[in-house]
């Protein structure tokens, strides 16, 4: 049975209206009018809220004025301008806050045809590295202004970043940003890594029945928008009292507005229930519900109002009586509920009640998972200081590493052991850097690759670079104006082979102490000439000695067989010893045979030998070796070393104990992969491919993705292997170029076969076929009845008939989640759509969808095993409060 954990919190409130002095208190309010001039500050005429320009909170964007066809005076002052972002993919506000303080955060968008195109855009809104919501064009155009709000507590940082992301569907814009501090005791959040997104907030008994009237500050001290509900149906009626009659001494931290609590709805028929119904977008979404009760009628001595709340036919809370005395009724216990498409709440009067139930107002919030990790703060501080020191002219906005789709240009990042992104590669080549090498570079402690070439850097190569213990490549400080001696430790690491160091085209930079000395007689022309000749001879001799010395050290290093660098160059003799004279074959492919090997430290490795008859050949051998030396990800097979000698060409990899995916899906394999294992493998492989496509700069195509190239370690974690046919492209446009045929029959994109033009979406097609193989357990191509049948030709007709049972691998014997199975199939279908560029999704989207699919199955398994839902799936869908232009 499908289920989910729905955390409902019932708040039974008495009314509170603060005294006027409290109402006027805007301490902690942050109210930004986006697009206004930097010097603009004003108090809004309708609310008294103090607004100021957003100019000091963001470095990018353009100011535009709305062009609505109504008098400008009818448009709220804070909605007359927008800030538009025609440049850059991600543009971010940085707003200082108090860490640990709970905030209500609201963003408002008033398109108002500001660009004279009469076509509202569509874009994504992020809070830090987590997606807040997608702002759809239809939503932005259907009303003059649309707001979306959330309750969020910044866990540790003293700032938040609100980012607008261009998704290719128009230019992002924003009108107003508002932050309101809340009492820490209200709106409890499920976890520190979550937020509460506003779904609904209704004033049920309001006498104002149009959207044009929305109660907010000063009626609401927290400046929440209270929207009047639709007119009551025939079985409900409104009851109210004078606002002045509301007892302002009834204090409560939720502080609902007196004007909202002065009215309520109640059934016309005193014996009938008061019913509310919500239809949710996804049965796995998690919600908080807040119901507000206050007695607005003066009851006679013999009158009572007592009722119970029934949720989906079960008692949820009660009996309760709307309060007229100080002190709130405590909320009920957390409820475990199964997932439903519709949630019905019925308020029934008890047998001893003379009056029907009432309800004043209601709030509904949806839980949003905000667990995406931000880059380690030390790395953020360091790269930000580098940006400031050199005034880097790049679109460096928001978090440097996350999300991976919006990683800063020139950076590569890899999660550490705690899944925190760390900067491992920094390319600032040709970035107009001037001055000395800043000390902030030394704080990027996980940096492996640093490129500072083609700039105008001056001064010495500083000693603090020695602190970069992970640094493997510093061969790109050439073509600068550096002077002085290279630090001895960097030279020593270069000699040992643990650091690739090149200082070309820096005439004043010395690799040895002698080149820094000057002759005291250099002013005498003849002596100077002789000295110059001697220096040249000495330098030549010194260079020859260094060359011989390095060669000897390299040879000795090979003989020792130690892994002093990350990718060791093995000798032919060492390969023979490692493989025990090629004793055990563990695989074979187009490249050649793969042998089991054992290093001196007893670690097992896989040794791939280039066959003399290989169709791929030496070019692919070089391609794979070079690629794996620069890309590193937990879902890509790691290269340990290589052998490039006349007798043999070999690549030495980490050993994957559980072989490849093709072997596990073979009909000969009696250990059938479970459904959740297949989902986990799909997610792992998607993470590896997403890294190649979106985490590498430039992007890398695999070009031969298939089950035999997806390897499994001892814990059944999947890693992509075999990069011999991979190719890197400068950008998506560059990737549309003609190239040699690549790939394996059945997995190659038909569009690529037809046009010969390579694109990242070719990999997406191949990945879709891999998903179908995981789903069905069938090979990509099957020979049946004398015909060759492709897996899509077999699967799609069955899927179109809605017969999911006969699509799934029969060896699973029905042990799978129907919902996750359908979603898995839909993802695979989307990957194999005919129009690669337009229709197929990017790997980042596919990865997110697969994780959701994984969560659907996880929820099912946990519920079946324990009867409770312990894993939560939060999907972002937030409704909005709309404001008319009147």
Q: How far apart are CA 184 and CA 327, in angstroms?
A: 18
- Report the phi/psi class of residue 265: left, alpha or beta, with left for phi > 0 and alpha for psi in -120 to 50: beta
Q: Are strands 604-609 and 649-654 parallel, antiparallel or unpaired?
A: antiparallel
The dihedrals phi and psi of 659, each to the nearest 5 degrees, come to 70, -145
Q: How far apart are CA 749 and CA 458, in angstroms?
A: 50
| Order of strands across the sheet that contains 456-459 | 434-435, 456-459, 481-485, 508-510
Q: How far apart are CA 196 and CA 188, in angstroms?
A: 9
Q: How far apart are CA 299 and CA 831, in angstroms?
A: 65
Residue listed under structure tokens 């330098």: 539
Q: How far apart are CA 284 and CA 68, in angstroms?
A: 40
The helix (run of H) or strand (run of E) holding residue 718 is strand 718-720
**Is the CB of residue 444 less than 8 Å from the CB of residue 426?**
yes
Q: Are strands 473-476 and 500-501 parallel, antiparallel or unpaired?
A: parallel
Active site residue 704: yes
The helix (run of H) or strand (run of E) holding residue 527 is helix 525-560
- The three-class DSSP label of residue 217 is coil
**Is the CB of residue 35 less than 8 Å from the CB of residue 234?**
no
First to last CA, the chain: 49
Burial 724-736 (b: 16+ CB within 10 A, else e): bbbbbbeeeeebb
Residue 163, beta-bridge partner list: 92, 126
Q: What length does the chain have? A: 886
**Which of 220, 285, 704, 749 is flagged as catalytic?**
704
- Report the phi/psi class of residue 35: left, alpha or beta, with left for phi > 0 and alpha for psi in -120 to 50: left
Residue 871, beta-bridge partner list: none
Q: How far apart are CA 624 and CA 637, in angstroms?
A: 11
Residue listed under structure tokens 């080149």: 515
Cα angle value 829/831/832 (rounded, 5°): 70
Q: How far apart are CA 273 and CA 486, in angstroms?
A: 84
Tokens for 262, please give them. 């002065």
In terms of Cα–Cα distance, which of 185, 190, 342, 346 is closest to 279? 342
For the annotated catalytic residues, the residue numbers are: 704
């Amino acid at each position: 049975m499908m289920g989910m954990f729905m955390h409902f919190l019932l708040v039974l409130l008495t009314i509170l209206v603060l005294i006027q002095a409290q109402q006027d208190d805007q301490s902690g309010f942050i109210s930004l009018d986006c697009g206004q001039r930097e010097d603009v500050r004003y108090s809004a005429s309708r609310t008294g809220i103090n607004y100021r320009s957003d100019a000091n909170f963001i470095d990018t964007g353009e100011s535009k004025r709305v062009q609505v066809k109504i008098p400008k005076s009818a448009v709220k002052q804070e909605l007359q301008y927008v800030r538009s972002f025609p440049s850059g993919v991600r543009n971010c506000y940085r707003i200082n806050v108090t860490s640990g303080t709970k905030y209500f955060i609201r963003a408002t968008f008033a398109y108002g045809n500001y660009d004279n195109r009469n076509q509202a855009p569509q874009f994504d809104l992020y809070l830090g590295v987590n997606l807040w919501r997608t702002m759809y064009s239809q939503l932005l155009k259907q009303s003059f202004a649309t707001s979306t709000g959330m309750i969020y507590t910044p866990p540790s940082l003293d700032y938040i970043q609100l980012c607008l992301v261009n998704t290719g569907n128009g230019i992002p814009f924003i009108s107003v940003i508002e932050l309101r501090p809340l009492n820490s005791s209200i709106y409890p959040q499920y976890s520190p890594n979550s937020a509460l997104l506003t779904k609904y907030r209704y004033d049920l008994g309001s006498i104002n029945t149009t959207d044009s009237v929305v109660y907010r500050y000063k009626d609401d001290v927290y400046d929440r928008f209270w929207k009047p509900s639709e007119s009551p149906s025939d079985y409900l009626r409104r009851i109210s009292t004078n606002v002045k009659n509301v007892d302002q001494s009834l204090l409560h931290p939720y502080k609902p507005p007196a004007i909202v609590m002065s009215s309520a709805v109640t059934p016309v028929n005193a014996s009938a229930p008061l019913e509310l119904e919500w239809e949710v977008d996804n049965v796995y979404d998690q919600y908080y519900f807040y119901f507000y009760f206050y007695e607005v009628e003066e009851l006679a001595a013999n009158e009572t109002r007592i009722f119970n709340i029934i949720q989906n036919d079960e008692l949820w809370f009660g009996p309760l009586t709307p309060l007229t005395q100080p002190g709130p009724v405590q909320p009920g216990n957390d409820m475990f509920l199964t997932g439903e498409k519709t949630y019905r709440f019925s308020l029934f009067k008890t047998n001893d009640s003379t009056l029907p139930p009432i309800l004043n107002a209601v709030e509904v919030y949806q839980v949003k998972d905000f667990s995406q990790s931000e880059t380690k703060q030390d790395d953020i501080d360091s790269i930000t200081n580098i940006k400031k020191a050199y005034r880097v002219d790049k679109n460096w906005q928001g978090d440097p590493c996350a999300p991976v789709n919006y990683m800063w240009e020139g950076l590569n990042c890899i999660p550490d052991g705690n899944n925190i992104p760390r900067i491992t590669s920094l390319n600032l080549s040709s970035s107009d850097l001037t001055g000395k090498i800043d000390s902030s570079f030394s704080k990027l402690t996980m940096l492996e690759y640093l490129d500072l070439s083609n700039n105008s850097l001056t001064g010495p190569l500083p000693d603090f670079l020695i602190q970069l213990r992970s640094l493997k490549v510093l061969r790109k400080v050439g073509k600068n104006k550096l002077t002085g001696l290279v630090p001895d430790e960097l030279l020593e690491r270069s000699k040992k082979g643990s650091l690739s160091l090149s200082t070309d085209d820096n005439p004043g930079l010395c690799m040895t102490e002698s080149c820094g000395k000057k002759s005291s007689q250099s002013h005498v022309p003849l002596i100077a000439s002789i000295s110059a000749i001697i220096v040249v001879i000495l330098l030549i001799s010194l260079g020859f000695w260094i060359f011989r010395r390095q060669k000897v050290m390299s040879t000795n290093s090979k003989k020792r067989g130690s892994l002093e660098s990350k990718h060791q160059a093995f000798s032919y003799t060492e390969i023979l010893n490692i493989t025990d004279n090629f004793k055990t074959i563990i695989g074979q492919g187009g490249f050649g045979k793969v042998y089991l090997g054992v290093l001196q430290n007893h670690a097992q490795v896989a040794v791939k030998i280039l066959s003399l008859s290989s169709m791929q050949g030496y070019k692919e051998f070089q391609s794979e070796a070079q690629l794996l030396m620069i890309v590193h990800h937990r879902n890509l097979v790691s290269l340990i070393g290589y052998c490039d000698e006349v007798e043999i060409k070999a690549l030495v990899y980490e050993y994957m104990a559980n072989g490849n995916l093709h072997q596990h899906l073979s009909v000969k394999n009696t250990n059938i992969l479970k459904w959740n294992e297949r989902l986990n493998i799909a997610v792992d492989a998607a993470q590896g491919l997403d890294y190649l496509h979106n985490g590498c700069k430039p992007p890398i195509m695999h070009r031969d993705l298939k089950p035999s190239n997806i390897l499994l370690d001892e814990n059944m974690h999947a890693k992509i292997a075999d990069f011999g046919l991979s190719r890197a492209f400068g950008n998506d446009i560059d990737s549309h170029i003609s190239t040699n045929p690549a790939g394996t029959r059945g997995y190659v994109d038909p569009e690529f076969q037809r046009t010969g033009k390579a694109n990242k979406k070719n990999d997406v097609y191949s990945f879709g076929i891999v998903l179908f193989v995981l789903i069905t357990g069938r090979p990509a191509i099957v020979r049946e009845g004398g015909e060759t049948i492709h897996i899509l030709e077999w699967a799609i007709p069955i899927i179109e008939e809605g017969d999911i049972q006969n699509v799934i691998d029969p060896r699973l014997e029905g042990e799978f989640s129907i919902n996750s199975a359908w979603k898995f199939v839909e993802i695979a279908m989307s990957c194999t759509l005919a129009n690669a560029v337009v229709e197929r999704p990017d790997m980042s989207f596919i990865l997110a969808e697969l994780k959701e699919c994984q969560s659907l199955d996880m929820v099912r398994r946990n519920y079946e095993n324990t009867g409770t839902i312990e894993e939560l799936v939060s999907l972002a869908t937030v409704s909005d409060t709309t404001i008319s232009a009147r």
